[in-house]
């Protein structure tokens, strides 16, 4: 989790969340392990409230009936 840099944690307060779970499979192809809608804080609909120091944050994701993971051209 990062705020200003990778793995620097999060400030206290309420935050919109993005979850990017994608891997490079081969030249020009990537595999999404979570729905693409979660890859942007604007489209994910996810929020979390950080009240203090923690090393545990649960984020529930769903494919909403879609089949995953899936591959697409980059």
Distance separating the N- and C-terminal Cα atoms of the chain: 24
Where along the chain do its domains lie? 13-73
C-beta separation of 10 from 3 below 8 A: yes
pLDDT for position 55: 80
Q: Mind listing the pLDDT tens digit of every residue in the chain (74 residues)?
A: 777 787 788 889 999 999 999 999 999 999 999 999 999 999 999 999 999 888 888 999 999 888 889 999 98
Q: What is the pTM of this model?
A: 0.77
DSSP string covering 19-63: ---EEEEETTEEEESS-GGGGSHHHH-EEEEE-S--S--------
Largest CA distance in the chain: 42
């Amino acid at each position: 989790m990062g705020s200003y840099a990778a793995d620097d944690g999060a400030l206290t307060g309420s935050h919109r969340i993005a979850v990017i779970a994608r891997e490079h499979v081969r030249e020009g192809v990537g595999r999404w392990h979570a729905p693409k809608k979660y890859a942007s804080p604007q489209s994910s609909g996810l929020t979390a409230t950080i009240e203090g120091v923690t090393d545990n944050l649960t984020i529930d994701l769903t494919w909403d009936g879609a089949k995953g993971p899936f591959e697409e051209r980059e």
